[in-house]
Chains A and B, each alone.
Chain A
Amino acid sequence: MNEKISFDQIINTLVQRSSLNKSFARLFLKEMTTVIQQGLLRDSIVNLTGLGIFKLRNVPARLGRNIQTGESFTIAAHRKVLFKPEKHLREYINKNYQHLKATYFDDQDNFNFAGEYLTKNEKTPDSAIFNGAATESRVEPSKVEEKAPVTESQQDDFKAAPSQNLHLKEDENSRSKKTPIIITLVILISILLLYLQFSDDEGADSSQPKPIDPAVKNLEQVKKSNNSPVKKKNSSSIKKAVQASIPHKTGVGDNLWKLAFKYYSDGYLWPLILQANEDKISNPDFIAAGTTLSIPEVLNKTKNKLLAKGHLLAYKEYKKRGDEDALNHLYVAYKLDKELVSASSSNIDVTDIQSMKEQFSIKS
C-alpha cells in the first residue's frame, strides 16, 4: 500500500511474466513511451487499451506573477498532458469505496447526519483494510493494533461531537422560534391600536386630513373650502377607487407605461400607478423588479383628479432630478385639475408655474 515501486521492480516483474531478457524489457518500455509521445504529438490523443487515454489539452497564454519579486510575466500558451484512466481501471483503483454512493440531503439539519455518515463510512473500509493488512503482513501487527484503537477513539469523539452540537442547536432553535412569535405579536398589537385610532378619528370627523399623502391633504383642503356635497361624493368615490386595487409583482423590464398599458390599455395613464404607489416608487423611470405595486381600478369620474395628482407627483420627482419633463407634467396636471395645482402651490416653484404658463401660452 502506497509504496514507491522502482523502475527495476517493474522490469523484473515484466521479465518474470513474459520470459524476455532484462535489456529487451527495458528497451520495450522506453520504445513504448516514445511511441506514446509520438502519438500524442501526431494526434494529440492516445488510447491505450487496459490503461486509459492520454490526451493533450491546449492551455492559453495567461499573466503570471513572480511570487518573490512581484513582477508579472506572461506564461506562454502550451499543451498539457492529461491522463484519464479507463472505467475498468478507475473502478479497480476505487474498489475499497466502490459500494459508497452519493446521497442527497433535503435540509440543512440533515448535515448532522451527514457527519455521522462520513465517519461511519470511513470506518468500515479502513477497518477492513487494517484487518487485511494484519493478516497479510505479520511483521508489524503491533503497529496495526496501536493504530486501530486510536482511530476508534477518534471516531467516538466524532460521534460525540455532533450529538453535543445537536443539543446546542436545539436550544438555539427554541430561542429562535420564540423571537419571531414575540415580534409578530408586537406587530399585531400595534396594527390593532393604529386601526382603533383611525376608526375613532373617522367617527369623530370624517373630513380631518390624513397624514399620509400631501396631495390628498390638498384635495381635502379644496373640498373644505368649497364644502359642496357633490365634491364629497367624489372624494368617497376616490377612496373606493383607491381601495379597489390589483396587486402586481413587478418583473424585470417592467415600467410604468407598460403597466398602465396592460391594466388600463392606455399608457398615458401611468401617473395613476405612480400616485397609488407613491411610497414604493422613488424614480418614475425605474421600478425595482420584485416589488408588489397596487394597481388602482379607476372610475371615469375620478380619473382626471387622480391623474392630475399622479402628474403632480411625476413633476416633483422630475423636478428633483432637474429633468425638463417636469414642466410638461405640471402642464398636464394644470390642465386636468387647476384647483389642485393652485391648492398645492406650496409644493411647486412659482417660477415653474410662470414658465409653464409662458411656454404653453396659458392666460392666467
Chain B
Amino acid sequence: MNTSEIVKTLAKRLDKPQSEIKTILSTVTGIFKEHLGNHDRFTIPGFGTFDTAAHNPRKSYNPHVKKMMLLPKKIVAIFRPSKALRENVK
C-alpha cells in the first residue's frame, strides 16, 4: 500500500475530497517529522510510539575493504508498535 492508496481509502472513509485528505496527511507527517527532528517522543494511541535514540560511536569492521573503521555517533528514529497493533498484526 502506498500514499495514494491511503489517501483514497481515507477519502472514502471520511467522505472528504482526496485533495483535502492529501494536505491533511502531509501536515500530519510534517508534524511527526518536526517532533522527531527535535528528538521528542510521542505516542499515537492504538498505533505506537515514535522515538529517537542515539547510537554511540563504535569501532566496526568493513569486510569489503578488510579494515577497522570508526562509525560516528548518530541519532536514529525508533517506532515501537503499540500492544493493540502488535496483537492485530500477529
Q: Which residues of A are interface residues toward B (Cβ below 8 A)?
A: 1-7, 9-10, 13-14, 17-18, 20, 27-43, 45-52, 54, 56, 78-83, 85, 89-90, 92-97, 100-106, 111, 114, 117-118, 121-122, 125
Contacts and interface: CB of A to CB of B under 8 A. Distances in A.
24 contacts: A3-B41, A5-B42, A7-B44, A14-B28, A18-B27, A27-B14, A28-B28, A31-B10, A38-B9, A41-B89, A46-B2, A47-B2, A50-B26, A50-B29, A50-B30, A52-B77, A89-B36, A90-B77, A92-B33, A97-B74, A102-B71, A104-B70, A105-B67, A121-B57
A52 B65 CA distance: 31
A4 B85 CA distance: 21
Interface in B10-48: 10, 13-14, 23-33, 35-48
Interface of B: 1-3, 5-6, 9-10, 13-14, 23-33, 35-48, 52, 57, 59-60, 62, 65, 67-79, 81, 85-86, 88-90
A177 to B, nearest CB: 23
A2 B40 contact: yes
Contacts of A38: 9
Contacts of A111: 59, 68
A95 B89 contact: no
Pick the 10 closest A-B CB pairs, nearest first: A39-B1, A100-B72, A83-B79, A50-B29, A5-B42, A33-B47, A81-B81, A49-B3, A85-B77, A47-B2
B37 A92 contact: yes
A39 B57 CA distance: 37
> Chain A binding site: helix, strand, loop or mixed by DSSP?
helix
Given A81-B79, A93-B52, A94-B74, A13 B31 contact: yes
A48 B29 contact: yes
Q: Taking chain B's interface residues, is the majority helix, strand, or loop, or is none over half, making it mixed?
A: mixed
Nearest to A49: B3
Contact of B57 (A94, A104, A118): A118
A93 B89 contact: no
B70 A18 contact: no
A103 B81 contact: no
Contacts of B65: 104
Contacts of A79: 89-90
Contact of A18 (B1, B23, B40): B23
A46 B28 CA distance: 16
A121 B73 contact: yes
A78 B90 contact: yes
Contacts of B33: 50-51, 89, 92
Contacts of A28: 10, 14, 24, 28
B29 A45 contact: no
B1 A46 contact: yes
Contacts of B81: 81
A104 B65 CA distance: 10
Contacts of B60: 102
Contacts of A41: 88-89
Contacts of A78: 90
Contact of A31 (B14, B31, B39): B14
